[in-house]
Amino acid sequence: MTFEIEETGQPAAPPAEGPPSEALANALRLYQQERYEEAAVQFQRVVEGESQDAPANVQKAQFFLGKSLYHLRFYQSALAIFDEIGQAGKAHLYFGQTLQWLAQLASQL
């Protein structure tokens, strides 16, 4: 069994960001162009570890995957992604931003 709290009693710190892989950079570009379906596919590849991104970039991809799914109106799938982020708590870089997306989803579901 693993816990998010280190021996110091403090929550685990979020990982530091590194340079994004080509896959993540491409996914973010597609997201900015509102090409959410294509972006979601690329974000999923990063989340699954196909791009060898740093953990912080994987967290970024996970968050933007949830947002992409929301924009595609796949609300249940977006909820599952945002729930995973919520479970990670403050150890996830996008925990705070996820809360507002969960509130948005509450009005959609």
Please enumerate in sequence order all residues whose Cβ is within 8 A of that of 66, keeping only pairs 6 or more positions apart, or say none: 78, 81, 82, 85, 98, 101
Q: Give residue 108's pLDDT.
A: 80
Q: Would residue 38 count as lying in a domain?
A: yes
Write the pLDDT tens digit of every residue in 62-107.
999 999 999 999 999 999 999 999 999 999 999 999 999 999 898 8
Count of domains observed in the chain: 1
Spatial separation of the C-alpha atoms in residues 30 and 2, rounded to whole Å: 36
pLDDT attached to residue 1: 42
50 belongs to a structural domain: yes
Residues of the domain holding 68: 22-108
Tell me what pLDDT residue 12 has.
56
Task: Tell whether 7 is covered by a domain.
Answer: no
Residue showing tokens 């080509």: 22
Task: Answer yes or no: is 88 within a domain.
Answer: yes
CB 76 within 8 A of CB 69: no
- The CATH number of the domain holding residue 100 is 1.25.40
Structure confidence by residue, pLDDT tens digits, 20-59: 899 999 999 999 999 999 999 999 999 999 998 999 999 9
Q: What is the pLDDT of residue 3?
A: 45
